[in-house]
Chain A
Amino acid sequence: MEYFILFLPLFASIISGFFGNKIGQRKSEIITSSFVTISAVLSMIIFYNVLVNQYENNLLIATWINSGSLNVNWSIKIDSLSSIMFVVVTLVSSIVHIYSIGYMSHDPHKSRFMSYLSLFTFSMLTLVSSDNFLQLFFGWEGVGLCSYFLIGFWFKRDKANAAAIKAFLVNRVGDFGLALGIFLIFYLFGSVNYIDVFNQIYLIENKNLQFLGLSFNIINLICFFLFIGAMGKSAQIFLHTWLPDAMEGPTPVSALIHAATMVTAGVFLVVRCSPIFEYSPIILGMITVVGMTTALFAASIAIVQNDIKKIIAYSTCSQLGYMFFAAGVGAYNIAMFHLFTHAFFKALLFLGAGSVIHSFNDEQNITEMGGVYKKIPYTYILMIIGTLALTGFPFLSGFYSKDAIIEFAYLKGSFLGYIAATIGILTAILTSIYSWRLIFKTFHGNYNNKKISFEKMHESPAIMLVPLFVLAIGSIFSGYIFKDIFFDTTGFNNLWSSSITFLEPLSLEHPPKWFILTTPILVILSIPIAYYLFVINKDIPKVLIDANRPIFLFLKNKWYFDELYDFLFVNPCKKIGYFFWKSIDNSTIDKFGPDGISILIKKISNKAVKFQSGFIYQYAFIMLLGFSVLLTILIIN
């Protein structure tokens, strides 16, 4: 059964990719969608088994690399962590597959698109099902590759191509960190299998490594490198710049890859490696700081953006920050819980946005929309559900997971924990404001689109709406249903015993009442505020913007990260490359090397030619000269 989960998407991808033209686009759509759906159903069965029967397994498929002490296998590891990821990945993927049939209906390359989607699903599954770091790396790069393909899917757009390469390269920087982490692990343990590494981790707790004259604690170093990898994939601050640009890809892609699954791989990595991270409080602290900074920073940018997809992209960035700071304060299970609920509501928001974009004939700017809630009522309601879940409206899924994160940060009791909790609350308010701004600007107010008339607006077809309903159900109920399963870390039959390590058990206390109530109340209050600001009295935002022009520009330009990186890395690399080529290769090595030698030889031979003048008296003179020199030497000796 596990084999089917993993390989059905691969087969679907191969069939649709290589034989798509032969079997026709409709058939490739059906094959890919149905294969992935079967895979999703099987995943749920496995998940049920894991929940109820504590089912665990580690299947070996084949040897991969076998060199000296390095033995790596292709494998499928089933435990609570991977089975949850299986469900998230295959479920969202199958929904996105079906939705794409409608969304991409006008595209001439449908089978290629479906093939990429299935291939992505396969890569993501190999990532989460791995029992060793190398297969994880395979999946890690594999999803990056598929993301590259899908962002650049509309290959005629220059912007899409640039975004695709940017995504791949920034991810490579993260992968570079991850690879170094893996090298270090192999160097220390002589193995890259999780089980060998996790069992021996306590042995090296106090070891140090010398690098550039400095001494580093080894566990900190491993964790640092692994986290760099996680930052790249999960678009955390400094390595986040690719995610907003990645919105150049088709919207279903954004929902699947850049919201629900791939970007959460970083969180998955940290949780999977909890046995290592637990020994490194310093890096856990760093994760908390990075997580909360990203959460706040991305939310602050989202408030001033006008592109509907970019707003949701920054929102994803911000929510990933939440997951990281949950992991950073040691609440790995809560990080997974937020990952789980987030997959539903963020995919819902993205696909909903896709439906809006579809209705507006590919318009993405929310200032060009407005007032259409009656025209596209289903989309409107679904988007509202997604927004409520995202902002943590009481009793929807986001409420349970996000508030739990803030509470656990508070319960951590440390200074960092309190700061994290405060920033968590602040971000929750910002989240609420930008989300409602999106809703109000898109659906309420006046109709602002000049390209298509209001009457022509139409609701999306059923094949796009039905998948959204499934996600909406998940967004509403997944928090309530699964909260006990995810929270339980102490019971005898608890879900996490085999996959997450807690050196110190999580606190079981509850924070004070006022604290628990703060976030939901603020979140609810911000709805009318947002309505007032963005629908009733639109002058206030304008006044605010005019009063704080520099801050607005700073946010609008995304904290100038792109410009900074161009200045620091991209342009210098190009300049140095050009300098090496022209000044060193051509003007130095060649000039003094081969070209220099050949010129030198020419010169010398030109000189040598002059000796052969053909005049006997010259030759005789030189002979005489030589003879007398020899004679002189002889006499002196």
Chain B
Amino acid sequence: MEFPIISSLILLPFVGSLFIFFVKSNKSNNSIKYVSLFITLANFILSIYLWIIFDKSSSNFQFVENREWLMGLINYKVGIDGISILFVILTTLVTPLCVLSVNSTIKYKLKEFLIAILLMETLMIGVFCSMDLVVFYLFFEGGLIPMFLIIGIWGGERRVYSAFKFFLYTLLGSVLMLVAILTIYWIAGTTDIEKLYEMGISSEYQKILWLAFFSSFAVKTPMWPVHTWLPDAHVEAPTAGSVLLAAILLKMAGYGFIRFSVGLFPVASEYFVPLVYTLSIIAIIYTSLVALMQEDMKKLIAYSSVAHMGFVTLGIFTMTEQGIEGSIFQMISHGLVSAALFLSVGVIYERNHSRIIKDYGGLVSVMPNYAVVLMIFTLGAVGLPGTTGFVGEFLILMGTFKKSFLAAFLASIGVILSAAYMLWLYRRVIFGKLEKSNLITMGDLNKSEMLILWILAIPILVFGFYPEPLFNTITQSVTNFLDMYNSNIEIYLANKE
């Protein structure tokens, strides 16, 4: 048997967290930080290795592991294809940065915090690798718990309220999804995705099942109008929590839409396209306008995340190659950009203990290096050509245009608004005269902050100019996925007649 590389990826952080659990925590002892950093870095290198040996010309699942589990009823089946591999790499890239950022942001219970982060990593990688609905569900919902704890324990003043809001929203959707998964097992006799793809689910059940999955994914994306947990969760979460939430957790839903909603229920997906379009476009315009008026930086970025994820859902349901590839690309891009933006807010929050935009102004005079990197991230969020944000957004809009002129037209307005709120934010924080006396003593980025932020800035620029390596990886799988989708729809239409 081959070396179980996927399972190693999933389990490595878990083992690390066990290890830390048994280490005696001690304030002066930095070793737990180094251990977690080492483990997450090793995981990152492993995932890059995986990317290198990944066969880009094949659309099949690769490195599949299939083990019996639960008396043979359900199998532990994991593997990756072109759609999922980039998300795995995104996760393994962002987690070490979170560990690095812990240095100064977490003042108490450091050991527990690191354990939570490592557990999160295990669960998130698991989500992107699962090839069985039950396994997926376990990882997907398991991710709730460490996040709930991160917000509830290490959060700001209103952390309990936010944590419960987060929990209430997400749990509601998950219950329905669980029922749907049980139903699928009852109908089809299996929860193995590959088998389900082959068999197809009879179209009479598809709509109700689609809605059940949708309720879970829509909350996590989040789509309008179930987005209100996100700003609160972000505001209260510690920096590392916000980063994981924005960069990875939101992507699990987008990924779920592609893999499960569209993949398993093509007929229903086609039927519900207008619903998704409407909600996505409302999300794009509505939340952009709300973002414009925010006074809290983290809230502003949280609202902008909703708008950016609106593009993602829009792109996925265009069912065109540009739309879906654009959505995957946009998710990766948003993962990098939003992580970077939250880290950047963390940098000044730590120095001045305020997230309110009004408390800043003229920072460029004292923090020139910070101004440069923040500009790169701002431009990434604005979607300027030369950053990854542009490639994703533009492809999505191109794909949308093929299907609906009106949808593309309205979504394009969001592009204007995103420039408005991001540049206005940047201006109020960075430019202007340095008038507030407490800002004058603020120091520029230290070495570890420089490192963290540039690690994110470089891929944003490189893949903005040369996205080919990423497209190379996803193209085959997406093409094949769409072929499958289209043939399903054709069969359905033929049967109907």
Interface residues in chain A, defined as those with a beta carbon under 8 Å from any beta carbon in chain B: 62-70, 134, 137-138, 141-142, 145, 148, 152, 155-156, 158, 161, 164-165, 168-169, 172-173, 175-176, 179-180, 182-184, 186-187, 209, 211-212, 573-574, 576-578, 580-581, 585-586, 589-590, 593-594, 597-598
Contacts and interface: CB of A to CB of B under 8 A. Distances in A.
Given A137-B385, A598-B164, A70 B412 contact: no
Given A155-B432, A186-B398, A68 B364 contact: no
Nearest to A152: B431
Interface stretch (B55-63, B100-108, B415-423): B415-423
A70 B322 contact: yes
Nearest to B401: A183
Contacts of B416: 169, 172-173, 176
B321 interface: yes
The 4 closest A-B pairs by CB, nearest first: A68-B321, A577-B289, A183-B401, A138-B385
A137 B467 CA distance: 17
A594 B466 contact: no
Given A172-B419, A176-B412, 6 more contacts: A63-B468, A66-B471, A165-B420, A574-B292, A580-B290, A594-B169
Interface stretch (B23-31, B236-244, B403-411, B442-450): B403-411
A69 to B, nearest CB: 7
A165 B378 CA distance: 13
A594 B364 contact: no
B385 A142 contact: yes
Contact of A172 (B386, B409, B415): B415
B432 A158 contact: yes
Nearest to A590: B228
Contact of A70 (B229, B286, B384, B395): B395
A182 B290 CA distance: 29
A134 B385 CA distance: 9
Interface in B374-415: 379, 384-386, 390-391, 394-395, 397-398, 401-402, 405-406, 408-409, 412-413, 415
A589 B395 contact: no
Interface string B191-234: 00000000000000000000000000000000001101100000
B325 interface: yes
B38 interface: no
14 contacts: A66-B475, A68-B320, A69-B321, A70-B398, A141-B390, A161-B432, A165-B427, A176-B412, A176-B415, A180-B412, A186-B398, A580-B289, A589-B228, A598-B168
A622 B364 CA distance: 73
Contacts of A138: 385-386
Given A172-B415, A176-B412, A183-B408, A574 B293 contact: yes
Contacts of B165: 594
B492 interface: no
B424 interface: yes
A621 to B, nearest CB: 36
B326 interface: yes
Contact of B466 (A64, A172, A186): A64
Contact of A585 (B290, B409, B415): B290
B362 A145 contact: no
B465 interface: yes
Interface in B257-314: 286, 289-294
Given A142-B385, A577-B293, A580-B289, A187 B401 contact: yes
Contacts of B433: 156
B391 to A, nearest CB: 6
Contacts of A66: 468, 471, 475
A184 B427 contact: no
B294 A581 contact: yes
Contact of A155 (B294, B322, B364, B408): B364
Contacts of A172: 415-416, 419
A65 B385 CA distance: 12
B386 A142 contact: yes
A176 B419 CA distance: 12
A105 B149 CA distance: 57
A586 B303 CA distance: 13
Contacts of A173: 416
B228 A156 contact: no
Given A138-B386, A589-B225, A145 B379 contact: yes
Contacts of A578: 293
Nearest to B325: A67
B402 A187 contact: yes
